[in-house]
Amino acid sequence: MKTLFLSADSSPLFGAARVLDMCGVFDQYNTSQSEEEADSKALFWDWAMVGEDLRNAIREFETIHSK
């Protein structure tokens, strides 16, 4: 699983507009209504990535040791 939580939203048209954006108007990243909401989103995705790492490690272990 890959998260783009802290990445800017993108599309071909948005990307073309960013090339001409000299003042950084289009530099808007994922936003939250409050600091608490931002923290809870970040914490959720941190643990989601930990879970994905554990699943991958278990699969790799099972592959190596199933022979």
Q: Is the pLDDT of residue 24 over 60?
A: yes
Q: What is the pLDDT of residue 38?
A: 87
Per-residue pLDDT averaged across 30-56, rounded? 90
Assign 1 a pLDDT band (cuts: 50, 70, 90).
Answer: low
| Terminal-residue alpha carbon distance, the chain | 27
Q: What is the pLDDT of residue 54?
A: 97
Global pTM reads: 0.56
Higher pLDDT, 45 or 55: 55
Q: Can you spell out the DSSP letters for 17-60?
A: HHHH-SS-TT------SSHHHHHHHHHHHHHHHHHHHHHHHHHH
Q: How far is 5 from 43, CA to CA, in rounded Å? A: 11
